[in-house]
Structure 1
Amino acid sequence: MIPNVLITGSNRGLGLEWCRQYAKAGWRVFASCRFPEQADALQQLAAEYGTVVMHRLDVTEPDQINALAGALAEYPIDLLINNAGVYYEKYDRPGQPIDYAAWTHTFRVNTMGAMRVSQALLPHIRRSQKRLIAVITSHMGSIAEIERPGSYYYRSSKAALNAAMKGFSLELGALEIGVLLLHPGWVRTRMGGPDGLLSPQESIEGMRARVEAFTLADSGRFFRYDGTEIPW
């Protein structure tokens, strides 16, 4: 049976590369993003691979999440990749006033969005063979690794995501569903910028290796793309 993966934030960067690599590996790919009609690169990928199916999804909109879960009701989801994320203050100057509305929205996307999607798709994941939720987080959510001020919205949203998913992994252990927290490294994407140390291909290849090697003993743990563990 062909395995199924659902990927959020699939229109560019890491999300698009996740889709490309899993499509090439023969998986059925449910690729979701906010505006599929504007996702030219993803449309091209779907045209190249008949196993890539595009869906509209804003992870902050419960109605869209529930609609997607309903549309995929007949499919088991072997792997859910919570990839969608925002980083609004990446280019803010030190001392710039805090935009609390942007901070709130960052939490809605980076933290609550991943939880909403994961909970809505639990029945699909439970019926699958792989039974794994992968969460694309960041080492910037590690309190132990904070070395400079700033990035308050992004850091706190990823730290909260890590805490929530660690707790979620304990809840899902009884169902033998795994939760894998992954830091992709500094990647040359729109979010990472042109100076990143990794290409999207290199980052996703590393994270796919972590997915393939996953056992329930790894559930709720926090890894870099290269397999090294990150302190909380």
Structure 2
Amino acid sequence: MATSRTDPVDEPSGPGGRVLLIGASRGLGLALARQWAGEGREVVATVRGPGWTALHDLADADPEHVEIETLDITVPAQIVALRDRLAGRLFDLLFVNAGVTNQPEGTVAETSVEEFTRVMVTNALSPLRVIEALQDLVDPAGTIGVMSSGQGSVANNERGGHEVYRGSKAALNTFMRSYAARHRDDRRTLVLMAPGWVRTDLGGADARLSIEESIPRVASTLDALRGSRGLHYVDYLGRTVPW
């Protein structure tokens, strides 16, 4: 007698399966989309708004491997709508890259309530909303990852600076630990990724690493962790980052 299945029927395929990449219009997210598409993976990647981006150029050049969706992660209704559009599809990896830094730089006390709220909602609250909403689209033995930062390490914060951004990433890390605790019986691999200080619009021109030095290693580290259930806070070289 045939048995019915309740999980999505559209199974991942190809090297490493399918990737759902949240936040890929530029910088590290765009580089990840390019990296994974170049490896032959099917990448569904999101942009925030309706305008043309470099991701659209990538999708035009490689439509077999890159598909674009629109999502502002700070708008809960858009997260729900994306989940509904992707219902019935299954991904090997969900990776949340979207994030911002605060402008202008300053101490916590010097930061307006509006700017503090914007950074915290984007970097800490919204990624968890995305994960909670989209987790069922991830293979039961797949990976859920979030772009964190070495600056989210409380133990390593000995020089200060970038206070609001640091705080938002530390909050993200804490929220992911809570998520992992609530899903301790889940077989999925959970990853907080610190990509290193990379020369992007967010990282700045003085950053130590190029995108080409960081992103392939980010991708290979995520591959190496596949199947290692539980939460891992690591850098682009696979080294554990102190909490």
Per the normalisation by structure 1, the TM-score is 0.92
Q: 2:73 aligns with which of 59, 80, 84?
A: 59
Please show how residues 26-175 of structure 1 align to structure 2 within 5 Å: 26-39=40-53, 41-50=54-63, 51-89=65-103, 92=105, 97-125=110-138, 128=139, 130-175=141-186
What residue in structure 1 maps to residue 202 of structure 2?
A: 191
Partner amino acid, structure 2, of 1:66: V
CA RMSD of aligned residues (A): 1.8
Does residue 178 of structure 1 match 2:215? no
Give the secondary-structure state (helix, strand or coil) at the position aligned to 1:131: strand
What secondary structure is seen at the aligned counterpart in 1 of 2:184? helix
Which residue in the other structure is 1:229 paired with? 240
> What CA distance in whole angstroms lies between the structure 1 residues aligned with 2:211 and 2:230?
24
* Structure 2 unmatched runs, 5+: 1-12
Going from structure 1 to structure 2, the CA distance change for 1:173 and 1:216 (only over 3 Å counts) comes to farther
- Secondary structure at the aligned position of 1:37 is classed as coil
Q: Deviations over 1:80-134 (max 9, x none)?
A: 1110000014x52569822121111111111111101111111111xx2651111
Task: Measure, in 1, the Cα distance between the counterparts of 2:230 and 2:202.
Answer: 27
The residue that corresponds to 1:10 in the other structure is 24
Question: Once the two structures are aligned, what percentage of the paired residues are identical?
Answer: 36
CA deviation string 1:27-70 (max 9, x = no partner): 1111102124231x111100111121111101111110011111
Alignment CA distance shift 1:230-1:12 (3 Å): same
- Deviating more after overlay: 74-83 vs 92-101: 92-101
Matched to 1:207, the amino acid is: V
Q: Distance in 2 between matches of 1:202 and 1:46?
A: 23
Contact 2:187–2:229, Cα closer than 8 Å, also in 1: no
Residues 36, 55 of structure 1: 8 Å contact kept: no
Q: In structure 2, do the counterparts of structure 1 residues 129 and 28 end up closer, same or farther at CA, with 3 Å as the change threshold?
A: farther
Letter in 2 for 1:86: V
How far apart are the structure 1 equivalents of 2:58 and 2:227? 32
- TM-superposed CA distance for 1:9, in Å, is 1.5
Instruction: Determine the C-alpha separation between the residues in 2 that align with 1:36 and 1:30.
Output: 16
Q: Matched residues in 2 for 1:215 and 1:14: separation?
A: 20
Q: Which consecutive unaligned segments of at least 5 residues does structure 1 have?
A: none
Structure number, greater radius of gyration = 2
Deviates more, 1:211-220 or 1:186-195: 211-220
The size of the alignment, in residue pairs, is 228
Structure 1's consecutive aligned runs of 4 or more residues displaced over 3 angstroms after TM superposition are: 93-96, 215-218
